Amino acid sequence: MSESSLARVSVRILEKEYQFACAVEERAALLDSAEFLNSEMKKIRDSGKVIGLDRIAVMAALNMANELLKGRTRDVSLETDVVHRVRSLRERVEATLERGQQLEL
């Protein structure tokens, strides 16, 4: 990646400034991610149950990882369901076509 294809990005998370370099086309995604992380960390901080930036960051990371893994599990389950439905539909279509060919004879 060349210097010209890099964007310098500054984000603020819990009132602390962080500087990043990323591909120009990933800049918007990085800003969205930082905004989401900041929002999640603020929720945790404002709950008053977790104190300290490191602990808040770890708690936010664990919550986000948990949601990611739940989403992946849902995706796999949905994909399995779709595969079964497509297989069932294909079998029904093949059976119908087979009956139709038998009638033509």
Query: Where exactly are the structural domains of the chain?
Result: 3-80
Tens digit of pLDDT for each residue in 6-29? 999 999 999 999 999 999 999 999
* Cα–Cα nearest to 18, from 45, 44, 38: 38
CATH of domain 3-80: 3.30.160.880
| pLDDT for the residue numbered 3 | 57
The band of 81, judged by pLDDT with boundaries at 50, 70 and 90, is: confident
| Pair 36, 13: CB distance under 8 Å | no
Name the β-bridge partners of 11. 18
